[in-house]
Structure 1
Amino acid sequence: MTYVTMLVPKPKRKRFNAIRSFTSSGAFIVGPAVGGTLILLSSVHITLWINAILFIFAAILLTLLPDKETIDKNSIPKLTFKQVVSDFTIVIEFISKNRYVSYIYIGFILIMLFSYAMDAQEVVFTQQVIGLSEVEYSLLISITGIGSVTGAAILSVFSNKFSLRHMIVIGIIMTTVGYIIYAFSWSFYSIAIGFIILGFFNVYLNAGVTTFYQNNIPTDLMGRVTSIFQLFQNGFQVLFILAIGITADIIPLRTTIIVSSLAMFVTSLIFSIAVFMPRKKGIYQE
C-alpha cells in the first residue's frame, strides 16, 4: 500500500483503487475457471507448472516498476526490541495527533471483524442450517464474485461521480444489509440476493476506505502504522472468531449470525454518522 501511495497521485487514487478492485474481483472469477479448464485439458502437474511460471513472470513485471524510495537503505535500523518499541511510540503519537483519522480506520476494522467472524461460519451455516449442497455453495461463491466484478466495473467507470464519503457509507451500509439478508435466508435464492449485494457494495467500501487511508497517512509512517494496525486486527480477529464459534455451540448458529449481523448494522450506522460529521468534511477532500 505504501508503494502504491507513493506511485499514484492523490487525484487518481480513487480511480486506481476502483480499477484494482475490478481486476482483483475478475481474477477471483476467471482464475478458478481457467485453472479448472487447464486441469481438464492437461493435468494437475502441468497446471501447477503454468501457475509457477506465471508467478515468475509477475515478479519480472514488478522489477520494471519505478523506484520511488528516497530512503538511504544503509540507514535503516535493524529489527530489535528497542526498535519495535520506538515504532509503537511513533504510531501512538500519530494516533494522538490524528485522532479522527485513526478512529475512523479503527472503526472500520472493528466492523469488519463481524464479517470475518460470520465468514468463518459460512460453510456450516449454508450447508447445515440452510441445507445447501456443496455444488450450490460453490455456485454462491461464484455469484458473490460476479457481484464484486459488476460493482468494481461500474465503480471504475463512474468513480469520479462518487464522493469518498458516499463510497464509504453506502458501501458499509449495503454490505451490512447483505449480511442481514444472509442471516435471515431460508433458501438458495434468498441467500444469493444477500451475497450479490454483499459482493457488489464491498468493492465500494474497500476502495473508499483504502483511498481515505492513503490520503491521510503520511507515506513515511504508513508502513509502521499499517503493520501495527494489522497486528491488532489479526489478534482481535482470532479472538472474535473463537467467540462466535463458542457462542454457536451454546445457542443456535442462526441466532448467532443474526445477532452478529444486526450488531454490525448498528455499528455501521454509528460509523456512518462519524464519517458525515460536517466539520470533518475537509479530511475527505480528494
Structure 2
Amino acid sequence: MKRNVWLEKWKYPFILLFGIGISNVGGWIYFIALNLIVYDMTQSALAVSILYLIRPLSTLASNLWAGSLIDRTNKRSLMAILDVARAGLIVLLPLNSSIWYIYVLVFFIQMAGSVFGPASGTYITMLIPPDQRPRFNSLNALIGSGAFLIGPAIAGLLFLAGSPVMAIYINAAAMFLSGLITLLMPNLEKGVFAQKGGARLEWSVIRADWGTVLRFYRSHIYITAVCLLFGAIMMVMASAVDSLEAVFALTVLGLTESSYGMLVSVSGAGIIAGALVNTLVAGRVPSAALIGLGVLGVSGGYLLYATSSAFGMAAAGFFILAFFIAFANAGFATFYQNNIPVGMMGRFGSMNGFIEAILIMLTTIVLGLWAEWGSLQVAVIAGVIVMALLSLVLGGLLWRKVIIVQKVSGTGISVQQGAAYTTIETRRESGPEQ
C-alpha cells in the first residue's frame, strides 16, 4: 500500500526528471558539436568564442519581456512549444555553411532557452509539493551531473561513428522527445488563461511588470539579496573566470592538452560525488545551509585552483569546486521555490537573468582585457577573490537568518512553520497576480 502511494506521489516528478535528463544530455551533445562545426568552418578560436557571447546577448533580448509572457501563459504548453521550436531550429543549423547563418539560428535557439528556463522553474514549483522539493532538486542536480559526463561521451562516440552534424540531429531528436514528454505531464493551468484573455505583451503591461518586480525587490530585501548574490557568484563570476580556464591551465600551469582533459575528468568525478552525497542529505539540511556551504566550497575550490602551481593542486581545486556545486544549486532551487510567489516567478526570474547577463558580459570583458594587457594569473585570482568575498557575504547573510529562525523556533514556532509563514507573507505582500 505504501509503495503504491509512493509511486503515485513520484510518478510525475520522475517523468519530468526523465525529460530533463534527455534534454541535458542532448544539450551537451549540441554544445560540443556546435563548437566543432564552427571551428571546422572558420579555423578561428574567435569565431568559437563569439558563440559564448551569444547566450548573454540573447538573454538581454528576451528576458525583459519573457517574464510577462511566462506568467500569463500555460507553462506546460509553453515548455512543449519551446522544445519543439528549438528542435526545428537545431535541424536547420547544418543546412547552410554561412557562419552568420549559424550565429543567427543559435541566437534564436538561445532566446528560446532563456524563456524556457524560468517557465520550467515555475512549472516545477507548481507541480512539486514543498515536502518533495529538496529530494527532487537533489535528484535534478544528480541528473545534471550525469549529463555532464554522459553527454560528451556520447558526443565522442557519435563523432567516431559519423560527424558533428549527426550529433546535431541527435540533439534535435532529443529536444523533440523532451517536448513530447512534457505533454505527458499534468496540465496544471487548464483553462486559467483562456478565462483571463491570454497573454498581452503590450509595452504598458511589460513596464508595469518591471515595477512589480522592483517593488518585490524593495519589500523583500533578504530574498532578493540571496538570489542576486547567488547569481553573482555562481553565474557571473564563475562564467567570467571559466572563460579564461583553458588558457590559464595551458599557459600559467603549463599543462598539456591531455593533462587539461584529465582536469576536466577530475571535475566530473567531483560533480558526481557531490551530487550523490547531496541526495543522501536532501531534506535533512536546511536550504540556507546548503547554499552557504555550497558557495563557500565552490569559491574555495576556485581559489585553490587559481593559486596552484602544479597539476595536483589544480586537480584538488577542480574536485572541490565541482563537489560543492550540487549543494549550492539544489539548496538555492529549494530556497527559490519556497520564497518566490508562483504568480510572479517568471517575471522575477527573467529580471534576475537580465541583470546577470549584463554583469556576465561586463566581467568577462574586464577579466579578458586584464588578462590580455596585464597578467593572466592576476586576472583569474582577482576574479576568484571577488567570488570568495561575495560568498562570505552571502554565507553571513544566510547564517544570520538561520540564527533568527532558530530563535523564533525557540518561542514555539517551528522552522517549517516559519518558512511557510515567510512564503505566505511573500505572496500576500506582493499583491494580486498581474
TM over 0.5: yes
Q: Shift of residue 270 of structure 1?
A: 1.8
Unaligned runs of 5+ in 2: 1-120, 407-414, 421-434
Aligned Cα root-mean-square deviation (Å): 2.0
Tell me which moved more, 243-252 or 38-47: 38-47
Q: Which residue of 2 aligns with 1:7?
A: 127
Q: Which residue of 2 aligns with 1:31?
A: 151
Unaligned runs of 5+ in 1: none
Q: Which residue of 1 aligns with 2:404?
A: 279
Tell me which moved more, 1-10 or 156-165: 156-165
SS at match of 1:72: helix
Q: Shift of residue 208 of structure 1?
A: 0.6
The match for 2:336 among 188, 213, 218 is 213
Amino acid at match of 2:135: R
Tell me which moved more, 275-284 or 206-215: 275-284
Q: Shift of residue 280 of structure 1?
A: 5.1
**CA–CA separation in structure 2 for the residues paired with 1:270 and 1:51:** 40
Distance 1:272 1:69, change over 3 A: same
Amino acid at match of 1:7: L
Alignment of 1:58-137 (within 5 A): 58-69=178-189, 71-73=192-194, 75-112=197-234, 113-137=236-260
**CA–CA separation in structure 1 for the residues paired with 2:230 and 2:173:** 37
User: Is 1:249 aligned to 2:405, yes or no?
Assistant: no
Cα deviation, 1:161-207, whole Å, max 9, x if unaligned, reads: 32212211110111000000110111222211111111110110011
**CA–CA separation in structure 2 for the residues paired with 1:109 and 1:252:** 26
Cα deviation, 1:220-247, whole Å, max 9, x if unaligned, reads: 0100010111111101110111111122
Amino acid at match of 1:72: F
SS at match of 2:282: helix
* Structure ranking higher on relative contact order (CA contacts 8 Å, 6+ apart): 1
Contact 2:223 2:339 in 1 (8 A): yes
Q: Shift of residue 46 of structure 1?
A: 4.6
Amino acid at match of 1:279: I
**CA–CA separation in structure 2 for the residues paired with 1:198 and 1:115:** 11
Tell me which moved more, 59-68 or 104-113: 104-113
Contact 2:303 2:381 in 1 (8 A): yes
Amino acid at match of 2:293: I
**CA–CA separation in structure 2 for the residues paired with 1:42 and 1:250:** 42
Contact 2:135 2:279 in 1 (8 A): yes
The match for 2:358 among 235, 240, 243 is 235
Cα deviation, 1:133-178, whole Å, max 9, x if unaligned, reads: 2222223222212211111112112212322122111101110000
Contact 1:77 1:83 in 2 (8 A): no
SS at match of 1:79: coil
**CA–CA separation in structure 1 for the residues paired with 2:224 and 2:171:** 39
Q: Which residue of 2 aligns with 1:54?
A: 174
TM-score by length of 2: 0.62
Distance 1:35 1:263, change over 3 A: closer
Distance 1:259 1:26, change over 3 A: same
Contact 2:289 2:398 in 1 (8 A): no
Distance 1:275 1:235, change over 3 A: same
Q: Which residue of 2 aligns with 1:165?
A: 288
Cα deviation, 1:35-69, whole Å, max 9, x if unaligned, reads: 22233245555544444333322221111011112
The match for 1:186 among 298, 309, 312 is 309
Q: Shift of residue 266 of structure 1?
A: 2.1
Question: What is the aligned length?
Answer: 286
**CA–CA separation in structure 2 for the residues paired with 1:179 and 1:235:** 22
**CA–CA separation in structure 1 for the residues paired with 2:311 and 2:298:** 19
User: Is 1:260 aligned to 2:380, yes or no?
Assistant: no
Calculate percent identity across the aligned residue pairs: 31
Contact 1:167 1:204 in 2 (8 A): yes
User: Is 1:145 aligned to 2:268, yes or no?
Assistant: yes
**CA–CA separation in structure 2 for the residues paired with 1:51 and 1:99:** 41
SS at match of 1:17: helix
Q: Which residue of 2 aligns with 1:156?
A: 279
Q: Which residue of 1 aligns with 2:9?
A: none
SS at match of 1:210: helix
